[in-house]
Amino acid sequence: MIFHDNTNDRLVCLKQEANTVFWDKHWQTNNLHNVIKAPPKNRFITKTTRKYLQPNSKILEAGCGMGDKVYSLQEAGFDAYGVDTAQNTVREICKLRPQIKIKVADVRKLPFEDGYFDGCWSLGVIEHFWDGYEHVFREMKRVIRGNGYLFLTFPQISFLRHIKIRRNKYLNFDPTELDLNTFYQFIFDAEKIKKDLKGYGFMPVYECGQGGLKGLKDEIEFLRPFLQKIYDGQSLFTKSLHMGLNIVLSKWTGHIKFIVFRKST
């Protein structure tokens, strides 16, 4: 269920606590061994990184999940590292691909020296901390060198979600009734994220919405059965339609915001 937290101008998603046990189970469900043995190319990740950083640059993925993006960055010529709190997942990755530099660590307390990295990817991580993302941003500021880059994604309050908020389409959030075992994630206002990161010395250089089909599917209930078929479809036609709808819709209904930040010197 999704609630509107008017005090903090964000949406609150209640489902299941996104703890270490949850993520270990999640990655196993998503065919961890198959992904490790035959990692996807992750062309968006490698292509985007090449736009901003030179080969051999040190890159961290903070919250690396199945490690496939760390592997792709390594194969693309970067000195790539990954950290995650899902211990069983990290252990399996290191067993099957020992050449990948991945370790168990909390993104809020990274085991690296100041200014160690030229860039950092954070893909769908900051929204899962009930106590906020400030500790994550503080660590990003510490470990990324001056003029380095932060590549950040998070669920956003899209144009469609803003309309639903104004029309009171979400239930009001009462933190006194919250069971933390049901907290899954926040959905943020992108302008607030940019303002907060500016306070840590990061300025946005590029941004776009992503996941327009999901953002429409999740928010418009009567369209959901039809859109779910396109979202899950594996035929060439449905995959092409999925891609086309994402391009058309992401500006207005994008579930995810992707922003590239550059750190000041």
Residues of the chain with pLDDT > 70: what percent?
A: 100
Per-position DSSP letters for 145-189, written without gaps between them: EEEEEEEEEEEB--HHHHHHHHTT-SEEP-GGG--GGGEEEEEB-
For residue 203, being part of any structural domain is answered with yes
Which pLDDT belongs to residue 37?
80
Instruction: Read off the pLDDT of each residue in 106-129 and give the average, rounded to a whole number.
Output: 97
Q: How are the residues of the chain apportioned to helix, strand and coil, as percentages rounded to the nearest 5? A: 45, 25, 30
For residue 60, being part of any structural domain is answered with yes
pLDDT one-digit tens code per residue, 205-264: 999 999 999 999 999 999 999 999 999 999 999 999 999 999 999 999 999 999 999 999
List the 144-155 sheet strands across, edge first. 101-104, 79-84, 58-62, 117-123, 144-155, 256-263, 202-210
Structural domain boundaries, residue 53: 2-158+166-210+255-263
Amino acid at the residue 88 = N
Radius of gyration in angstroms for the set of CA atoms belonging to the chain, rounded to a whole number: 19
For residue 227, being part of any structural domain is answered with no
Distance CA 148, CA 69 (A): 19
Instruction: Average the pLDDT over each of 172-176, 186-190, 245-249 and give the range with the smallest value.
Output: 172-176
For residue 219, being part of any structural domain is answered with no
For residue 215, being part of any structural domain is answered with no
23: confidence class by pLDDT, cuts 50, 70, 90: confident
For residue 13, being part of any structural domain is answered with yes
For residue 229, being part of any structural domain is answered with no
For residue 44, being part of any structural domain is answered with yes
b/e burial code for range 220-229 (CB count within 10 A of at least 16 → b): eeeeeeebee
CATH of the domain at 194: 3.40.50.150
161: confidence class by pLDDT, cuts 50, 70, 90: very high
Q: Under a CB-based contact definition with an 8 Å cutoff, are residues 88 and 104 in contact?
A: no
Q: Structurally, how many domains does the chain consist of?
A: 1
**Polymer length of the chain:** 265
Q: Indicate left, alpha or beta for 213 from its phi (over 0: left) and psi (-120 to 50: alpha).
A: alpha
Q: Is the model's pLDDT at 119 over the cut of 90?
A: yes
Instruction: Read off the pLDDT of each residue in 18-38 and give the average, rounded to a whole number.
Output: 84
